[in-house]
Structure 1
Amino acid sequence: MSNVIGILLDRKTYLGILRNQTGYEHIDYYNQAAVELGMTPFYMCLKHVNTKSALGLSFENKNYTLKRLPIPKVIHNRAMTLSPMSQKKLQAIAKISQVFNGQNRHDKLHIHRLLRASANSSAFLPHAMKYSRENLIKAMKREDSFFVKPTNSSVGKGIIKVNAMSDGVWQVWWSNQLPRQLVEQQTIDFIDRKVNDQRYLIQETIPLSMYEGRPYDLRVSVQRGDKGQWGVTGIAGKVAADGRHVTNLAKGGEAVRCEKLFLNNGFDPVVKRKQVEEVALQIAESLSLQIPSISDVGMDMGIDHQGAIWLIEVNGRDQRYQYKHLNLNKTFYRTYETPMLYAKYLLSK
């Protein structure tokens, strides 16, 4: 048990291991890293875990074995625990094990407020506030362009973009529909219906740099690794599809190497990449002071027309597949190896 590392997965992913159907999770990379580091990965899902032991798949000698083991001393959480029952179970496990990235779905407005209070990170945040009808009216008076976003969703779901036009007309993008042009009251009523008492925020639009007439942002993988230190494992560009306002690959976005994007906009690719990495590390350090278990995040960051760097949002469960799209196989592997290095570090403490 001294070298066993627990890897907690969603049930569907866990059940797919033996069929080699694990979605975006490249389980073989965990296995490869574990073997190279002299560790044994033990895959679990919450359904088969109690406060003393877990039934799971142990990868040893190039094979999986179903067995029941005591709760591993260190667990890397890749499961999305949204229900109160699963959160309670994970909290109980965290009392007897070092669970890193235990909380991996973060309320976007809560993260914004934590970072806004930090001198090291506040300068990189666009203005944001909680959604309400009153705040929507304030935003329409103050901003020419803004987003209305769910505070607790992923892959670009539920996002509304709002742009001011002339003569009190607003252009509103919703889902994958064509933009509609509405007068002020129609805009307010439309957005209020879509929000419908859900938790949303209003965020100032960053004038993102463009690539072939389409806006792009960056996915920056920031992880704790050897010796527990933060590092940037990889950066990948995400370019919105024609006519779209979100860059998510799941919404038709295109993965493009960041160096190509930087060159296209006249930025020195080496200098700009280093600047992005420095900002990402500052934000990670600030965030980990408030959320100690956080250790593996995917930051969406934007660069405006002047080259300034902005944080759009923090994703607590980076899906990493953008590197696979770009054939950045070494980087893709390192996004799995780095948390295993961190797990080995925690195990040695």
Structure 2
Amino acid sequence: MSSVIGILLDRKTYLGILRKQTGYEHIDYYNQAAVELGMIPFYMCLKHVKTKSALGLCFENQKYTLKRMPIPKVIHNRAMTLSPTSQQKLQAIAKISQVFNGQNRHDKLYIHRLLRASTESSAFLPHAMKYSRENLVKAMSRYVSFFVKPTNSSVGKGVLKVSVMPDQIWQVWWSNQLPRQLAEQQTIDFIDEKVNGQSYLIQETIPLSMYEGRPYDLRVSVQRGDKGQWGVTGIAGKVAADGRHVTNLAKGGEAVRCEKLFLNNGFDPVVKRKQVEEAALQIAESLSLQIPSISDVGMDMGIDHQGAIWLIEVNGRDQRYQYKHLNLNKTFYRTYETPMLYAKYLLSK
């Protein structure tokens, strides 16, 4: 069946389709886009995939049918494949199918190094280095404020913020706790204990623009579409909760329309949005030269007090729900339609 598009989901999401309990995934939008494009979505999870076929849910004639089908020629990966077993299985599928966004959890330090090598994209990067106790001491001598964050996690988990105060006292934010004030050696010991040998990086703090006294950044959805070219599908602002050091909605952040944030800071909303889009597209182009399957990402980007644009991190599996919070329903739908347009383009090649 040449019009079948595979959509690979986490097992929990896949099992929730018939119960309409799919968490952040708005499966109905995939179905709607597929019907409009004359395609048949076939939902799978790795557990039910064999060498050349998969048991999955086929959406056709407005209903789901459980059936075993050949591995589709094109697959949009929305599953988090972190274990070696799942990665091997995904690689095996990729040998007989075009899997886009195959690897969708990208090590932050690896992405930083790829972009640092690009003349055009490196301008958007804050200083960053691999975490070590020695590099922590260096950071404390160089920066007035910096983040220590896991290289391989999402939604703001495990992130520490460190800022210098008068008399060589350091303020450290950790988890949901109130910031603690520590002497230099106490700070080093505290952070080292939290890192506990895991893979972390140190990233200089961007002096983010503020909204109502709280820092904000932007989630920029950058996706390949109908001609295989990159485009920006949507931009949404994320404002940190009072006293918090991360803007993630999962950590109490608030979604605010980017135009409102730009106006609040005296930026021309049309000009600033265009600048953000151009930066995001440049970064996506740079990354896709090194990671060919990358095609659907959510970039966290910041704007400093002078209006300069910075890349904070790249999320390989954008959850997209910020548009739902903002009632940007057309944009929310387009974040599902665009990968399907790209899938149709790949099928036609």
Which TM-score bucket, shorter chain as reference? over 0.9
Identity of aligned residues (%): 92
Deviation at 1:49, TM superposition (A): 0.2
Looking at structure 1, the residues matched to 206 and 35 of structure 2 have their Cα atoms a distance apart, in angstroms, of 44
Using the TM superposition, give the Cα deviation of residue 123 of structure 1 relative to its aligned residue in structure 2, in angstroms: 0.4
Residue by residue over 1:266-308, the C-alpha shift from the partner in whole angstroms, topping out at 9 and shown as x without a partner, is: 0000000000000000000000000000000000000000000
**SS at structure 2 position matched to 1:29:** helix
Partner of 2:69: 69
Equivalents in 2 of 1:85, 1:106: separation in Å? Answer: 17
Taking structure 1 as the reference length, what is the TM-score of the superposition?
1.00
Instruction: Give the equivalent residue in structure 1 for 2:44.
Output: 44
- In the alignment, which residue of structure 1 is the partner of 2:34? 34
Instruction: Verify: 1:223 aligned to 2:232, yes or no.
Output: no
Q: How many angstroms does 1:50 deviate by?
A: 1.2
Unpaired runs of at least 5, structure 1 = none
1:67 positional shift: 0.3
SS in 2 for 1:22: coil
**TM-score normalised per structure 2:** 1.00
1:18 CA displacement: 0.2
Q: Secondary structure at the match of 1:149?
A: strand
SS in 2 for 1:103: coil
The CA deviation at 1:172 is 0.3
Q: CA deviation at 1:120?
A: 1.3
Give the Å deviation of 1:162. Answer: 0.2
In structure 2, C-alpha distance between the alignment counterparts of 1:138 and 1:158, rounded to whole Å: 21
Taking the TM superposition and a 5 Å limit, the aligned residue runs for 1:1-349 are: 1-349=1-349
Alpha-carbon distance in 1 for matches of 2:103, 2:296: 11
- Offset of residue 23 of structure 1: 0.3
- SS of the residue corresponding to residue 227 of structure 2 reads helix
In structure 2, how many angstroms separate the alpha carbons of the residues matched to 1:29 and 1:51? 29
SS of 1:177's partner is coil
Structure 1 stretches of at least 4 aligned residues deviating more than 3 Å after TM superposition: none
Specify the SS of the correspondent of 1:198: coil
Unpaired stretches in structure 2, ≥5 consecutive residues: none
Aligned-pair distance for 1:51?
1.7
What CA deviation, in whole Å up to 9, does each residue of 1:302-338 have, x standing for no partner? Answer: 0000000000000000000000000000000000000
Secondary structure of the corresponding residue to residue 167 of structure 1:
helix
CA–CA distance in structure 1, aligned partners of residues 317 and 51 of structure 2:
24
Deviation per CA, 1:42-90: give whole Å up to 9, x if none.
0000000012000000000000000000000000000000000000000
Measured in 2, the distance between the counterparts of 1:51 and 1:260 equals: 51
What is the CA deviation profile of residues 139-170 of structure 1, one whole-angstrom value per residue up to 9, with x for unaligned ones? 00000000000000000000000000011100
Aligned partners of 1:291 and 1:277: how far apart in 2? 20
- Cα deviation 1:203-253 (Å, max 9, x = unaligned): 000000000000000000000001100000000000000000100000000
CA distance in 2, matches of 1:208, 1:336: 30
1:78-131, CA deviations, whole angstroms, 9 ceiling, x for partnerless residues? Answer: 000000000000000000000000000000000000000001100000000000
